[in-house]
């Protein structure tokens, strides 16, 4: 009984030290990150059942388990030779290389409120209101290209909670971006007006979005697939736009802008002669589609 009491005391001390280090920012961890170690917990319990009369083995096995947990907290980032970085911290800033000019960003999100803006001092700055987020950053050998994956895993704490998540992403405005967003129902503003976007691919649920585009890139291709959505597109006056709608569209203001219709496409008057062009392909149940020219 005394040995069990000692073991229980050691466990409480470890938990206290671990939580203190987490609160001080010395280590990073999430509930789901610890939960993924459940097979190791079963192994430790199994060994202790087999050797239940041996207190030394009990201390050694649990000690090894706690050391592994601490090491995972310290080394939340894993850097390999080809600059692959894995991290479970939902809030991060990734520095860029001077040579980096092309970026691929993949976002897999649960749904909620989203904002995307531009920055010029870092590659990406992200803030997500969930601790269960995995990210992967990989630079090419010559540092000219970067591939970023951000994936939100199931948050068991909020699984039955209707509260939505908040997402805030800031992207470097000197990099040419190819962006792929896979999300549930989403609301917010994606401000690409100061960014160079070669392609935007969105697969989403019921959404209310304002997409702002600029003239930093000669040609931008946008594909939107999802549920019933209200979309507002903000564009500069000199940008030529062609919008294709699968199944047509009824609630829109583009006819009042002088756009003409060709099949399922709506085309701005300046499209053919515009130096900068935007093509939008929408395959979704559109509730409303408006264009604002600034």
Residue 200 has pLDDT above 90, yes or no: yes
- List the structure tokens of 119: 């920055």
pLDDT tier at 284, thresholds 50, 70, 90: confident
Query: Does an H or E element contain 189, and which?
Result: strand 186-192
251 C-beta neighbours (distance < 10 Å), count: 10
> How far is CA 144 from each of CA 97, 139, 218, rounded to the nearest angstrom?
8, 7, 20
Window from 4-8, 92-96, 162-166, 270-274 with minimum mean pLDDT: 4-8
Residue 1 is predicted with a pLDDT of 46
- List the structure tokens of 124: 């990406």
Higher-pLDDT residue of 235, 247: 235
Query: What's the whole-number average pLDDT of the chain?
Result: 80
Residue 36 is predicted with a pLDDT of 61
Name the one residue in this structure whose structure tokens are 């971006």: 177
Residue 7 has pLDDT above 60, yes or no: no
């Amino acid at each position: 009984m005394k040995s069990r009491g000692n073991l229980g005391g050691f466990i409480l001390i470890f938990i206290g030290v671990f939580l203190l280090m987490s609160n001080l920012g010395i280590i990073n961890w999430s509930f789901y990150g610890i939960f993924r170690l459940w097979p190791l917990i079963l192994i430790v319990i199994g060994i202790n059942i087999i050797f239940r009369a041996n207190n030394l083995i009990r201390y050694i096995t649990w000690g090894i388990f706690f050391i592994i947990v601490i090491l995972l907290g310290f080394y939340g980032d894993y850097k390999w030779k080809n600059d692959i970085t894995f991290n479970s911290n939902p809030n991060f800033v990734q520095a860029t290389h001077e040579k980096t000019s092309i970026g691929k960003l993949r976002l897999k999100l649960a749904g909620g409120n989203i904002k995307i803006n531009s920055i010029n001092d870092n590659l990406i700055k992200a803030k997500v209101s969930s601790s269960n987020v995995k990210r992967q950053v990989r630079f090419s050998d010559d540092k000219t290209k970067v591939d970023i994956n951000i994936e939100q895993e199931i948050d068991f704490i909020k699984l039955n909670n209707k509260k939505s998540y908040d997402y805030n992403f800031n992207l470097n405005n000197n990099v040419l971006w190819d962006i792929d967003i896979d999300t549930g129902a989403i609301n917010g503003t994606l401000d690409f007006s100061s960014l160079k976007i070669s392609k935007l691919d969105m697969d989403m649920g019921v959404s209310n979005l304002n997409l702002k585009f600029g003239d930093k890139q000669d040609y931008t291709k946008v594909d939107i697939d999802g549920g019933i959505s209200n979309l507002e597109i903000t564009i500069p006056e000199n940008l030529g736009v062609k919008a294709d709608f699968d199944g047509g569209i009824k609630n829109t203001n583009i006819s009042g802008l002088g756009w003409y219709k060709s099949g399922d496409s709506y085309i701005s008057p300046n499209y053919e002669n515009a130096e900068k062009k935007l093509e939008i392909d929408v395959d979704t149940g559109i509730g409303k589609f408006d264009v604002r020219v600034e």
